[in-house]
Amino acid sequence: MADSSHGHGHTPAAWTGVIIAFIGFTVAGAFMVMANPVGFWGGMAIVVLGGVVGGVMRAMGMGMPKAQPLKMADGAAPAKQKAAAATREPVAAES
């Protein structure tokens, strides 16, 4: 079960985005306790910045690679599946 994530989130883009967002939440929380709305919204802007930085880093190739489609053992299997799906009759909904 520990291997089920396949490296989910273990990339420089994910770590950087989460760390920046964590700093933003910490700043926003501190300013909320001090009753300073401007500082709170500044911290929330840092949270958004973390998401933007993580997204930009992912676009630069520092995130998880996109999943490649699985290859079938029988090369014609996808065509057979499409033909079988086209011949199915629709099921009527029951009331």
Q: What is the predicted pLDDT for the residue at 72?
A: 67
Residue with tokens 């933007």: 52
Q: Is 94 within the bounds of a domain? A: no
Whether residue 16 is contained in a domain is answered as: yes
Domain containing residue 37: 9-66
Per the domain annotation, does 95 fall within a domain? no
Has residue 75 been placed in a domain?
no
Separation of alpha carbons 17 and 77, rounded Å: 41
Tell me if 83 is assigned to some domain: no
Residue 43 lies in a domain: yes
Give the count of domains, the chain: 1
Using CA atoms, how far residue 25 sits from 33, 40, 65, in Å, is: 12, 9, 28
Per the CB < 8 A criterion, the answer to whether 51 and 22 are in contact is no
- C-alpha to C-alpha distances, 5 to 9, 39, 63, nearest whole angstrom: 9, 37, 15
Q: Model confidence over 15-63: pLDDT tens digits? A: 999 999 999 999 999 999 999 999 999 999 999 999 999 999 989 888 8
